[in-house]
Each structure stands twice: as C-alpha cells, then as structure tokens.
Amino acid sequence: MRGVFYNACRAHQGELLLWGALILACVLLVWSPVGAWAGTSGPLVVVRDARGEPWLRFRPVGALQWDGTALRGTLRLDSTEIETPWIRGSLRGNALARLDGSRVLLEEFDFYLNNAAMPVQEAGETTDKAPLVDLGDLRLRGSGVWHSGSGRLELSALQLEAPDGARLTGELDWDPRQGLRTDLSLAAEQGDALVRRLARVFPASLEQVAVSGPLQLGMRLEMLFSPAEAASSGQRDREAGQVGQWNFGLDVRQSVRLAVADALVRVPRLNAEVQLLPGSSGAWDASGRVAVRGRLHPGGVELVSPKLSFDAGVSGKEYHFRRLRLESAEGLVLAGRKLPVRAVTLRGRLTPRADQGWHAHDLRVSLPGATLAGEAHIEPDGTVRTVLQAGGMDLERIGPVLGTLAGLDGLTAQGRAGLSVSVEMGAETITGDVRLHWREAAYMSGDAQYMAQGLEGSLRLRSRLSMKTLRRWVNADLRLDGGELLFGPTYLDLAGHPLRFTGNANQIGADRFKDLQARLDWQGYGTVEAEGDLWAHGPLSEWRCRAGLDVEDLNLGPVFASFVSTPMGLTRWQGENAGLGGTGHLTLSLYSDGTRADLEGRMRLVDASLRSAEGGVDVRGANLDLPVRYRLKGEASMPGVSELDPEETGALRVGHLHTPWSERENLAFRLALVPNRLYWLDPVAIPLFGGRIRLEDLQWDRPLSRSFKFGVNASFRGIDLAQWSREGVPLRGVLEGDLGRITATRHRISIPGAIRGTFFQGRLRADRLFMDWPFEARRQFGGEVSVRGMDLESLSGALGVGRVTGLLDLDLQDFLFAFGQPAQFTLTAQTSGEGDFEKSVSLKAVNSLSVIGTGSGLGDVGVGLFASFFEEFSYARIGFQCILNNDRFQVRGLIREGGVEYLIKKPFLTGINVVNGNPENFISFADMLERMQRVVKGSAQAAPQ
C-alpha cells in the first residue's frame, strides 16, 4: 500500500490506541493522573501525550454535581488542532461523565473532527511531508466506562459518522494488561463515494477498481498481550513487540459489485479470520481462513462456497507459506463442467532481494494426481514472474478431471505426462505459457465409445492479456505423433499419420475471437487452413463469424476409409483396391450475423475414383469443379433453373463408369449448388438389363440439412427380367414404367407412378410404392402388385416344381419388407376367369405343394402308388391365400364346400383335390421360406412329371 505508516504508529502507540475510535478525549475526561488546573477563565482538564506534553484541554460546563452517590458533570473540548501520524483535524465536543468510586462512567459523549485528513506516507518520506487524504467532517458518539484502577476502558454504542452517509458502529474494550478488542460494523449506502475518498490509501494497481452500490461490512480486531508480559509489566502503553497475539476478522454481509475497467465483478458475501502470533527476534506466525457464502467466478472458473485457509510465518526477512489451501465442497466448475477437484494447496518461501524485489522459492502446488514445483520473482515495479513444472504426472489419478472436461463420464486413463507453466503478470499485461507432453498414454470412456492407447504427443498454450483493453492473444499448438484412437465407430492409426494443429487469435472477453488463424497438417490426409473472426456467444446456432476455409490436397482415400466406409460398416467399399480415391480441394468463405449464415466458395475433385470390393462398380477419372453458394441459417430464396447464372454452373466429368449392367466412357454433366438447392442439369440415361432408365430434372433441396428433400422424374423401358434372375431361378418378362416425380426425405421415399409389363406372359402392374426411413437400419419398403393371366406352365417349368397348366391371377397387397425379409403381406392366387385353357397338375407338382403345405412330401409309397396309374391330374379351380403378419405365416383355402377348405378343387368326375387339412395352423415365415427353397432346389421327393 501507499500508506507506509507502521513505524510511526509504533512511536505513538499510546495515542493510536485511544484515537482508534476517537475516544482519546473521553479517557481522561473527568479523571486523569496527568490532569492539571490552569488559571485562565475557568478550570481545565489537561490531557498529555505519551511524552508528557499537553495535548487536549477540557473545560467544565457549569459546576460538577454530587447526586448522592457519585460526582457527575459535563466537560467541553474547545476546538483543538490535532496531528498524529495517522489522522489530523480540528477536534471539539462534549462529554457527560459520572465518577463512581474507581469507575468513570461515560454516560454520553459527542465529538466532531472537522476537516479530517489521513496522511499517506510514501516509502522514504517523512510524516510531515506526506500527502493527505481528505476524510471530510467526522462525528463520534457513544458511551462507556473507564476503570481508573486497572486502566480498562469499555466503550459501547459507538457511532462514527462520515460524509456521504458512511457509518461505523460497534464496541471497543481496552485493557492495559490484556489488550484491545473491537467489534465494528461499516455501512455505506454510497460505497463508491467512500472508496473514492480512500483511493490514495490503496495500491496504484487498484485505481481502475470502482465500487458500485452499498457496502455492509463487519470488522473485528483483537490485540492481546501475552500472559507473561502482562504479569511482568503494569505499564499502560506497550511497544508493538509486547503484543502476544493479533486477531482480525472481516464479514462482508452484502455482496459487493466492482467495476474493473469495462468488466463487472461481483464479490459475494464472505467471512475472514486472521491470527498473528509474534515470536522472538521479529518472527511472526500467521494463520486464518476465508469462507465465501455463494459463488466465485475468477477467470472463467466457478467455485461454490469456497474456503481458503492458510498457515504462514515470518523469520527475519523470509516469509514461509507452510500451507495455503483452497477448498470447494462441490468441486471446481470450469466451462460449465464440475471437476472432481475439491482442494488446491500451495507451499513455499518468500525472501526479499537486494533490489527491493522478492524471490519466492521452493514453491509446491498440490493438485489431484500432480504436484507442481517452481519459483517466482516479484520485481520492484510489481511484475511477477512464475515458473512451475511437474514431471511424471499420474494420468490414472487425473483421468476423471480430463474426462469431465471432455464430457466423457467415467473416463479412466493410464500413463505419464509432464507439465510446465510460465506466467508473467505486469501492470499492463499478463502472459502465460503452458506446455504438456505425454508418452504411452491410454484412456477409455465409461461407455467404451472413446478409447486410445500408445498415444504420444504434446500441447502448448500461450496467451497475453492486456489489462488496459482486457484483450487476450491466445495460441495453441497440438501434436499427435503416434498411437491409436477410437471415437465412436471411427478408428485412427496415428503411427503412420501424425498430425499437427496450430491456431492463434485475439480473444475479447470470454467468447469473442478476432484475427483467428488455424492450420491442420495431417500426414496422408491433407491440409486445412482457416482464418477470420468469431463471436461464440450463446448456442452454436447463434454464433457470429467471418471466416475463410482452405482445404488443399485432401487425400480422399484415407478420409473415406476413416470417416465413412469403416464407421458406417460399408464392407462393399472396403478392401485393398476398394473405396474412394483421388484428391479434393475446397475453398470456402463463411459469414454469419446470428440471424443468417452464408457459405460461398468452390469445391474440386481431381482424378477421383470409386470401386466396390468385388469390382462390380468401378468409376475412374472423375473430375468435379463446382461453385458453392449456400445459406446455412435463415430463409433462402431457391432460384429456378431458368434463373441460374452461367458462373454458378459446375461440371462433373467421368472417364470410365462400369456397373454390373452397363459400361460407359467419357460422361459429362452440368451441376449447380445455389441457395439452397443442388441441380443436376443434364438428363441421365442408365442402361439396365437390356433396357434403359432415364432420370430428369434432378433436384436436391437443402442438401446440407436433415430436412433435405430430393426429387427426380424417372421412367424406364425394356427391362428384361431374364437378365435380372438370381440364384438359378429364371424370370421371364419385360418391365416398363413412368414412376413420375420421385421425392425423398430423411423419413420417406414416395413413388407416385406405376410399373407395368409382363410376368410369365401375364399382365403385371405395381404401384403404391414407398420406402420409410431409407437412410437408417430400420428402413422398410412396400407396395402392391397384381398379375393377370400368368401362365402356370411357364412358371412351374422355370421353378422345376413339376408341370402345372392354366392361367392364374395374383394380388399382393399390404406388402412390407423390413430388416432383410418380408414383414407382412396378403397374397391371393385364383384361377383366371378369362379364356378357355387347359387345367392340369402333375404328380411332382402335387408333391411340391405337399412339401410347402405340410413340410413333407407324399412319401415313396404314395408317390409310387399314384405314379403307377396317373402322371397328371385335372383340376377345376385353384384358390388360396397366403397371409404373413409379424413372422406368423398362414395358408387359407378360398374354395369352401361342405365345411372343407380346398386349395385345388377337382372337376365333377375325375381329378385331384388338395385340401387344407389344418386351416388354423401357423408357421414362421422362415420355415415357409425353407420349404419353398427345398422345392425350388429339388430337395422334395422325386415324382413323375
């Protein structure tokens, strides 16, 4: 502090103790061993100072009265100039006193100190030359009692009133043998006015601190003499060295708002207790605690009801911090995350230097899992330089802290890390440099979604804070040189692909960054650079920024494998020669003002390729050049095709395209990405199974949003089902269709048109086609299909299930396919009512129907018996229905006569009936599929055609 007046106080301690509450006039008001009568206009009571010099003169007001038990009267202090090392002014007032034996009762006193001023003595200055701090006019009132025998003074109901409404109230107890005790309260409605009056008492570094609002403080002071000294000395005035113990207390009863430059700081309610114990040869011991009632937010860190305790000492010119411990029962909260760090302890020694500076050495800062050791220097100009280091930190102990910061509950870690911290705090700037390095580190989150092993790398964080502007320059340098990482489904091997990230910015406040620059160099992947300004206030959607992004030489192969095919389980695109290849380049600029966000730039792919593992799809020599304009936030006006500017049009060229059904060379298409729509401007013709699919007017609205919508007009002609056959089951027919405007969202694909064609010589139609959740594992699709006049002889011959002749009508309704198999449908099959045609079924076909219906054939005996007489049987009608719902499969006959269900009904005289003997029977769809596969693959018992 500027006011260095401790030595002066020691020289005038007798005056200091009495004047401490402006009580000096009352002590010897009516009784004093140093009083004397003067022969002026009236008797005087003279109070002399510690050197025996006359100091204060009191004049009786009227005569002293005897009330039968004690002498009682009023004394007046005429205006007297006083000058002490710690206060000056013109003192006057009155006191009503009563002499009761050895006690002097101060029933009431009222004093004024006009033009009060406090000398502020700079180091090296004499008291008479010290500048003065104006305190205004002060008034002191109260009552008390003075014990003349022991010299004890007890004052109560003290009230010290200062200008601007400030008031000091409380009690004082002075005992020459035991010491001084005070309990005072300070109330100031205009705290800023009081602080301005006392501004020069505080250090110059606090000149920018202003108080806003009222002050409510409680203050306690005890100066206690040691028992040995009290017994050996009867003197009233004692030197400071005779004090056995000092106790200080401070109670901030109402939170205080401070304005520091342009920032507002709130000091919550708190209670502080300090104890000083003087020892021999100028040694001191100090201990105490500070308890905060509420929350503290120092530098972005939140402490809930923290407590600070300390134990220190002074020996010669050296200060010892045996323990300085900060505790918070609920832990430390950083960036909104509650860390499991409940205590931090500091130890060390502080020694003065020859140049008036200080040296703090043997420093130890203890944290969970780590102890930082180092030293600090305090320069004569107040600059503080600190260096702390910790080697071999146990990551297993600090793992929970790291997990909380990363948002990974239950994180466990192993390995060792080293840390060094360098901080320099000056009057205008604060600079910091933090370095962290680790080797063979491993961690795993509680849900095992994030883990690593063998990690090697380092992190360096540097910052420089200007105290004038409160702007902070920050710089980060992260290196990951080796190890393996797994986050979610994404796996990274850093041993062959080390990365380095660097970035710096000017930080204003907690969430604003100007002149931000960042660069990522990732061996084998590419380079990313970004620059701009960022205001990260509130949720991510409300951030404001102006930024540029450049991605150069992006290796599409590792990027696709690490972040697409492997995490998504796309095994078809994984393998030595499978996946995506080529190089990508991206230049973008982003502007966001909180209400809208616009993205502009250009995207290029050079010599890109895409190949499936089995080689069925092979795309080579693809080159893309696409201008980009997109609105990430806010309403976007989507221009029509006719409104596109030629400069907004990009191009995609493909050198070679191979698919299982076609092969093309030298394809070229025009594209455009404008707010917020992607156009494919040229029609696409795709050869498929002897026919051709044509796609036109491709349009993708909001392609970067989860609420995207894709649309395309689709039609096809001449699709030969024979070329589409799978697993040895030959299909016959030709398809065509106009599917209309197909639309796709994240939730559903809708196809308004229909498919038409022939299926085994029958007329086919499929419509009401759809797919729900097309991009999720729960995807499902369905529709309805009808076939009229299907030729059974062609179908049975293709399936190899025996010979069946006739025409059949099929209706597939409520068809739903999910999780790799049909989930529900109703299939109705009936003999066609159109035309005159042969209706017969071979014995093998009957046996196949028996396998499908019952799970077993007719048996060797049955087949042989019928085969010796018949090869084919006639029938009059076929009618059955297959129903699937939640894996419950049922077959019902549609021909019912005499309480019997028939699947096949014979003519009037000869033929064969196939009866549904157990119509209420249910089997699983898997069992039915297995039976059908046995029949189709020829696993049923052999029978004549």
Residues 536, 511: Cα–Cα separation, whole Å: 5
Q: Which residues lie below 8 Å from residue 585, measured CB to CB, with a gap of 6+? A: 551, 552, 553, 554, 603, 604, 605, 606
Q: Is residue 691 part of a domain?
A: yes
Closest to 154 (Cα-Cα) out of 27, 48, 12, 28 = 27
Residues 773 and 752 reside in one and the same domain: no
Query: Closest by alpha carbon to 204, among 400, 427, 397?
Result: 427
pLDDT confidence of residue 794? 93
* Shared domain check, 772 and 754: no
Copy the structure tokens of residue 430: 């604060």
Q: Find residue 720's DSSP bridge partners.
A: 734
Tokens of 546: 């102006």
Q: How, if at all, do strands 471-487 and 499-508 pair?
A: antiparallel
160-164 long-range contacts (CB < 8 A, ≥24 apart) are 160/21, 160/22, 162/135, 162/136, 162/138, 162/194, 163/135, 163/136, 163/137, 163/193, 163/197, 164/136, 164/188, 164/190, 164/193, 164/194, 164/197
Together in a domain, 605 and 517:
yes
Smallest Cα–Cα separation from 564: which of 547, 584, 546?
584
Q: Mean pLDDT by 10-residue block, N- to C-terminus, for the chain (945 residues)? A: 34 37 36 34 55 71 77 86 82 88 86 87 54 87 87 89 88 87 90 74 59 86 71 41 78 79 70 85 83 72 80 82 83 71 86 88 86 91 91 84 73 90 90 93 87 94 88 93 90 92 89 91 94 86 90 93 87 89 95 91 96 92 96 89 92 93 90 94 91 95 91 96 76 95 96 97 96 89 97 90 93 94 95 88 84 64 45 89 92 91 87 83 86 70 42
Phi, psi (degrees; rounded to nearest 5) at 243: -70, 130
Which of 759, 778, 807 delimits the end of a domain? 759
pLDDT at 472: 87
In a domain, 939, yes or no: yes
Containing 847, the helix (H) or strand (E) segment is helix 843-854
Q: Indicate the DSSP class of residue 728.
A: T
Residue 866 and residue 915 in one domain: yes
Supply 824's token pair.
């529900």
Q: How far is CA 278 from CA 281, 283, 312, in A?
A: 9, 6, 12
Residue 806 domain flag: yes
Per DSSP, the three-state class of 267 is strand
185 lies in some domain: yes
User: Is 481 within 8 Å of 457 (Cβ atoms)?
Assistant: yes
Burial of 226-244, coded b for 16+ CB within 10 Å and e otherwise, reads eeeebeeeeebebeeebbb
Token pair of 338, please? Answer: 């509650």
pLDDT for 555:
95
Last residue of a domain, one of 197, 224, 251: 224
Dist. CA 573–CA 587, nearest whole Å: 28
Residue 266: how many CB atoms within 10 A of its CB?
13
Same domain, 105 and 69: yes
Residue 89: both structure tokens together:
């002014």
Reported as type and span, the H/E element at residue 846 is helix 843-854
Pairing of strands 295-296, 318-327: unpaired
pLDDT of residue 46: 65
Regarding whether 894 and 828 lie in a shared domain, the answer is: yes
342 beta partners: none
- CA 830, CA 824: separation in Å to the nearest integer? 20
Domain membership flag for residue 294: no
User: How many other CB atoms are found less than 10 A from the CB of residue 27?
Assistant: 21
3-state helix/strand/coil string of 664-710: EEEEEEEEEEECCEEEECCCEEEEECCEEEEEEEEEEECCCCCCCEE
Which residue intervals of 284-355 are DSSP H helices? Answer: none
Q: Please provide the DSSP assignment of 871-932 as one string.
A: SEEE-SEEEEEEEEETTEEEEEESEEETTEEEEEE--SSS---EE-S-TT--B-HHHHHHHH
Distance between CA atoms of 246 and 230, rounded to whole angstroms? 15
Give the position of tokens 């003197």.
235
Q: What pLDDT score was predicted for residue 583?
A: 96
Q: Compute how many other C-beta atoms are within 10 angstroms of the C-beta atom of residue 468.
A: 10
78 forms beta bridges with none
The Cα–Cα gap between 332 and 344 comes to 10
pLDDT at 22: 39
For the record, the structure tokens of 735 come out as: 């398809």
Q: Which residue has the tokens 């006392």?
A: 198
Cα–Cα distance, 305 to 322 (Å, whole number): 24
Whether a cis peptide bond, with omega within 30° of 0, leads into 504 is: no
Q: Which domain holds residue 721?
A: 683-759
Tokens, residue 725: 């056959």
Single-letter amino acid code for the residue at 652: L
Beta bridge partners of 172: 155, 182
Q: Are residues 723 and 789 in the same domain?
A: no
Q: Would you call 618 helix, strand, or coil by DSSP? A: strand
Sign, CA dihedral 549-553-556-562, equals negative
Other beta carbons less than 10 A from residue 676's beta carbon: 22
Same domain, residue pair 115 and 16: yes
The answer as to whether 645 is a domain residue is: yes
**Residue 650 domain-assigned?**
yes
Q: Which among 192, 224, 256 is the end of a domain?
A: 224
The pLDDT score that the predictor gives to residue 727 is 62
Q: Are residues 662 and 697 in the same domain?
A: no
Q: Which helix (H) or strand (E) holds 401?
A: helix 395-405
- Do residues 742 and 801 share a domain? no
Residue 476, Cβ neighbours under 10 Å: how many? Answer: 16
State whether 743 and 849 are in the same domain: no
The answer to whether 114 and 137 are in contact (CB under 8 A) is yes
Task: Provide the angle, in degrees to the nearest 10, between the axes of the packed helices 860-867 and 843-854.
Answer: 150
- CA 561, 562, 564, 566 torsion: positive or negative? positive
In this structure, the answer to whether residues 843 and 863 fall within a common structural domain is: yes
Contact 765, 742 (CB under 8 A): no
Cβ-proximal residues to 764 (8 Å cutoff; 6+ apart), any chain: 733, 735, 755, 756, 757, 758, 785, 786, 787
- Alpha carbon 235 to its chain centroid, in Å, reads 66
Count: domains in the chain: 4
Beta strands 597-611 and 618-633 are antiparallel
